[in-house]
Structure 1
Amino acid sequence: MSSSNVTVEADVPPPNKHPYHLVDPSPWPLVASLGAGLMLFGIILFAHHNVHWVFGVGLLIVLATMFLWFRDVVRESRVPGLHTPIVRLGLRYGMLLFIASEVMFFVAFFWAYFHFALYPEHVSGAAKAVWPPAGITTFDPFHLPLLNTLILLLSGTTVTWAHHALLENDRKGLVQGLGLTVLLGMMFTFFQVVEYAEAPFAFAGGGIYPSVFFLATGFHGFHVIIGTIFLAVCWFRARAGQFTPQRHFGFEAAAWYWHFVDVVWLFLFVCVYVLGAGPTAH
């Protein structure tokens, strides 16, 4: 149940003589770069020589670095006085700029899609200027795509419920709302896997439509997975009592990211699935 006596935390004086945040020396940026480089090199080896283990080693290094780096960030956030009001403001600006960069990331995908959707005569080798290209059978937008849309919209309400519960010092509501949001994110990913498995067109050799479709929806699905992990970490932290009504930027950033993912999907659903629908597969 929510508590009516919400305590207000006083700002602890910073441990330094200034209110700003100086990053401590850390090995994780270098280790993460090495792991990402191994993954890229492994993809090349897999594509040309069918060698798998290099990519696997790089992936393990990246996953281990993520866990250890996130652990250090969580520990840092719990040091009294380190996250001053100026530092918290800077963190919010940083997250907003990151989401803005992600918006431009998806603008490129929408640009590619609308370039060919509005000017189908630019499709190489097309016998007739039509979009979707002749011979392409698309998804029924009011089948699995609509179900996934409802799932993401519902997840937006549950994460907002969790945020409101946190502000009201309702830890039980916070944990329940976050848990439901994580489950809904996993459901979305599951149904997208089902959708891809039943796709009436192939990615390899399928032409421009499958390329822009899988690129836009696939990268969005990747962001859903990242957001689900983000919220799952917040769920564990909420269970451990690490968020308070005054100090919860980690959860707030995850909620912002999740709402961004929801909005991008709404644009994808309307533009790609509904407006871009052609002859649908049964």
Structure 2
Amino acid sequence: MKADNPIYFFEHILTKDGINSMIKKFRKKYLSGEYTISSINEESLNFTIFDTDSEGKEHFYNVSFQDFLKPLMKKEFYNSLSLIKQYYQREDISNSGYQKYLNSIFNEIQYLINNNLKILRNHPYILAPLEELIIRINEGYFYGLKNDFRIDTRDLKIQQKDYMTNPEIVDAIFGYLSGYNEKKEKIMDDSQFDLMISYINYFVDNLDMPQLKGTIKHINITKELLRFSFYVLHKELYGTNKRKRELYDFMYLVFDDFDKNTLSENSLHSKFSVCKDIQNEGFISPIIRDYLDKR
């Protein structure tokens, strides 16, 4: 049944009707007239959107079907984890019975891959959450039952492993702040770094303000780079979805560098993705540097 099947969503989008339905929703979102489209790449399903900020400055940014689908897949991935755990609790079965259930999930994922090669070659990023699900099963995420399942993707002739959990995304983006800047200065105190990461992880998981034990003091990077780091976080978590204004409130309340007395909310919002004055220095996280390379 749909409600009990932990990989129903992926079964659906790996059908011709399912993936076409998602593409139709993507097109409807951006081609309905709400956005000004500058260019369209039909083959790769990439749109370039034109926008003007409150100061009259023009901005262009790209949106892709992959960006559109990624938050949905992330949501369904965590739903899959929850359903698999609930099965053990609901059925009150033995470990051996639960192992058979995990076996059936692996077999179904392998079946999906083997029978939907064309869709996966066109949209290889769909494979990533399924691979991550198998990793969780192998590592004993479900009640300590470890396995050694290995997905066979040789027929796909692709390599796809870009799916990260939320804490991994936070670490990949903000990990560089525990090191040194281009002047060989310590960017921030270790205790401040740990506190910042705990705040960000709480916000990402709950979309709400953590209970503050203190603000994050001045960080030895530019405000522009710190702001852009949060833009990358938003992009990685939510793709092209509408900006979450709660993130601006979080930045103002947590960081002394974003003091509302010296930086207006409108300024933070309008310049959120601006990076033209940021130097692509070697100390910056690779994931941020990739975004800077695209400007």
Q: What TM-score, normalized to structure 1?
A: 0.28
The structure with more helix, counted as a fraction of residues: 1
The structure with more strand, counted as a fraction of residues: 2
Higher RCO (C-alpha 8 Å, min separation 6): 1
